[in-house]
């Protein structure tokens, strides 16, 4: 009778042989030795090539079939699929996890939903990884690494700033194309898709002016010095009354601050704005609550332009919605990944303009 140790050793050897076969066949598909749609050698040939049993070959082929590399065709054997994972699958990496209780903006949620819609419409897998920020080990990070190491991703879309993946396959595997969503290029060779925040403010100002509103307040996320300078120039160019204490920069992770801010802006009926720009959709719900508390009527007392990540449901007030289309962002990112894979030159920075809905 075999001892427990001998049984475990046999299992380990069997698993090692299976992994060797699986890895070798997967690599051959990835490198083009076995082309898309092409037939794999019959099992007896593979048994002879790898010097393993029929059971080992069947296990290895079963693993590759589950991973999406091969398919069994009636009467014609086992073939490589027309679009293997390393050609078809897209990974989308988010720095926050909506289930963790940490900050998770409406922007991330809208992009995630747009990716799901794209997947259904185009029958192309977009695998989402949430809470992967490069600073600590999380199961989602390991899942991403496993897919990279087994050649099951054609590209990665990094959604949002703050990724720290230098020295890892996530950032440096040469067989994977990458795109970042952010304000400016961070890593050499990785194109960026960004939103034109200045166009949002300019279009919001122009709309309010068209409505006869020239006393403007703004609730917006923190700006760097460049952003503050651009904002000041846009205000000056239109001769708007928008003093510094009406340009309130708020923390996106604490959107409830917008409620007290909008209430205070409207506290003095004799000296309050007649136009309000809510420049981040995370602030909208709370800013509107502050307007109600102040007894302000929209749009009679104040005309509101609210930022939106489209598509999104209608707001609670009669306001103009201005923002960016998540489906357009997802489509652009995937197009850039496909262009990189085909060897085409891609633009390092793509800026999407703000649009009224």
With tokens 């977009």, the residue in question is 126
Residue 116 pLDDT > 70, yes or no? yes
Reported CATH class of domain 86-190: alpha beta
Q: Residue 136 has what pLDDT?
A: 67
Q: Render pLDDT for 208-227 as a digit per residue (tens, 0 to 9).
A: 999 999 999 999 999 999 99
Look over the chain and give the mean of its residue pLDDT values, rounded to a whole number.
90
pLDDT in tens, 75-99: 889 999 999 999 999 999 998 888 7
Percent of the chain with pLDDT over 70: 91
Q: What predicted TM-score, i.e. pTM, was given to this entire model? A: 0.89
Q: How far apart are CA 124 and CA 152, in angstroms?
A: 13
Other beta carbons less than 10 A from residue 106's beta carbon: 19
Model confidence pLDDT, tens digit, residues 146-160: 999 999 999 999 997
Number of H helices, E strands in the chain: 12, 14
Structure tokens at 23: 């890895």
CA angle 200, 202, 206 (to 5 degrees): 120
pLDDT for 210: 97
Higher-confidence residue: 22 or 186?
A: 22
Residue 187 CB-density burial (10 A; 0-12 exposed, 13-18 middle, 19+ buried)? middle
The reply to whether domains 4-82 and 197-323 share a CATH topology is no
Phi-psi region of 333 (alpha: psi -120 to 50; beta: other; left: phi over 0): alpha
Instruction: Classify domain 4-82 at the CATH topology level.
Output: Arc Repressor Mutant, subunit A (1.10.10)
The domain 197-323 is placed in CATH, from the list 3.40.50.2300, 3.90.76.10, 3.40.50.620, 2.60.40.650, at: 3.40.50.2300
* Position 2 pLDDT exceeds 50: no
Extents of the domains making up the chain: 4-82, 86-190, 197-323
Backbone angles phi, psi at 156, to 5 degrees: -130, 135
Q: What are phi and psi of 2, to 5 degrees?
A: -75, 140
Distances in Å between the Cα of 16 and the Cα atoms of 56, 63, 126, 204 are 10, 14, 31, 62
Number of Cβ within 10 Å of residue 46's Cβ equals 21
């Amino acid at each position: 009778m075999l001892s427990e140790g001998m049984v475990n050793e046999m299992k380990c050897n069997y698993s090692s042989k299976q992994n060797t076969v699986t890895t070798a066949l997967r690599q051959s598909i990835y490198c083009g030795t076995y082309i898309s749609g092409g037939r794999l050698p019959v099992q007896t040939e593979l048994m002879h090539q790898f010097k393993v049993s029929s059971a080992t070959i069947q296990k290895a082929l079963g693993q590759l079939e589950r991973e999406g590399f091969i398919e069994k065709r009636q009467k014609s054997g086992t073939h490589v699929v027309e679009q293997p994972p390393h050609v078809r699958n897209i990974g989308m990496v988010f720095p926050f996890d909506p289930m963790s209780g940490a900050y998770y903006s409406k922007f991330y949620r809208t992009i995630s939903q747009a990716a799901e819609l794209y997947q259904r419409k185009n029958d192309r897998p977009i695998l989402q990884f949430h809470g992967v920020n490069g600073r600590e080990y999380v199961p989602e990070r390991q899942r991403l690494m496993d897919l990279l190491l087994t050649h099951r991703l054609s590209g990665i879309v990094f959604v949002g700033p703050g990724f720290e993946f230098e020295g890892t396959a996530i950032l440096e595997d040469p067989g994977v194309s990458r795109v970042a969503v952010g304000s400016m290029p961070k890593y050499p060779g990785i194109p960026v898709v960004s939103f034109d925040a200045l166009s949002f403010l300019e279009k919001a100002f122009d709309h309010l002016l068209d409505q006869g509103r020239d006393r403007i307040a703004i609730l917006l996320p923190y700006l760097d010095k460049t952003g503050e300078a651009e904002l000041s120039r846009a205000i000056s160019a239109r001769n708007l009354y928008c003093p510094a204490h009406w340009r309130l920069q708020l923390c996106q992770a604490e959107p409830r601050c917008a409620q007290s801010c909008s209430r205070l802006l409207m506290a003095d009926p004799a000296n309050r704005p007649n136009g309000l720009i809510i420049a981040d959709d995370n602030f909208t719900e709370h800013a509107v609550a502050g307007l109600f508390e102040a007894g302000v009527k929209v749009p009679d007392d104040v005309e509101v332009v609210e930022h939106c990540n489209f598509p999104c449901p209608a707001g609670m007030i009669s306001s103009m919605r201005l923002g960016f289309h998540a489906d357009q962002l997802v489509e652009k990112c995937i197009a850039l990944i496909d262009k990189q894979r085909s060897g085409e030159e891609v633009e390092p920075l793509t800026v999407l303009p703000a649009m009224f809905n």
